[in-house]
Amino acid sequence: MLLLKLHGSVNWWARRGYAKPFALDAIVHHHGWEGISRRLFPSDVVARHLESEPVLVPPVLSKSDLVAQPVLRLVWTLAFEHLSRAEAVTFIGYSFPATDTAARVLFTEALADLPPEDITVVGLEPDEAGVTALKARYRDVLGPIPDACFFTDGAQAWVQRLPPPGSLA
């Protein structure tokens, strides 16, 4: 399984001294150390070599925003390549907001040949109105995904329904 995070998060950091837009070799993954490793390698030792603010990349409106950030260009290119060859795709916890135009284009183009029944959507919707809205957003972009492919009671409940590893189900 390949996991590509298309937007930056609070654990992407730029090495101190690099200029924006950050080159690929300037971005590192870093989060605080826990337990025994903290005594051996405290995170403040690492943190002093990183910029003081994480590299946050919010959902972008256009592809031109992606071109400006080398790390995003790489991740989104890999996402397109892998999605366009995928036999099945599962979205977990993604609300598919209408404002995330670049993601809508990516998924529309990369998944154009994937049958809608091979798309799974896992989310957490508190009520039927939320479920209806989520289905509408996905179907607007990816076509007639069957109701059976939507799991809206959360990722934990969805995982519990999966067949055990190694089973033939």
What is the DSSP secondary structure assignment for residue 123, as one 8-state letter? -
Q: Which residues contact 138 (CB under 8 A, 6 or more apart)?
A: 91, 96, 119, 121, 145, 150
pLDDT for res 23? 78
In this structure, of 32-36, 47-51, 153-157, the range with the lowest mean pLDDT score is 32-36
pLDDT for res 58? 60
Going by pLDDT thresholds of 50, 70 and 90, the confidence category of residue 99 is: confident
3-state per-residue secondary structure call for 151-166: ECECHHHHHHHCCCCC
Q: Which residues contact 139 (CB under 8 A, 6 or more apart)?
A: 145
**84 vs 168, residue with greater confidence:** 84
**158 vs 45, residue with greater confidence:** 158
pLDDT for res 72? 74
The whole model's pTM is what?
0.71
Look at residue 40 and tell me whether its pLDDT is greater than 50: no
Going by pLDDT thresholds of 50, 70 and 90, the confidence category of residue 169 is: low
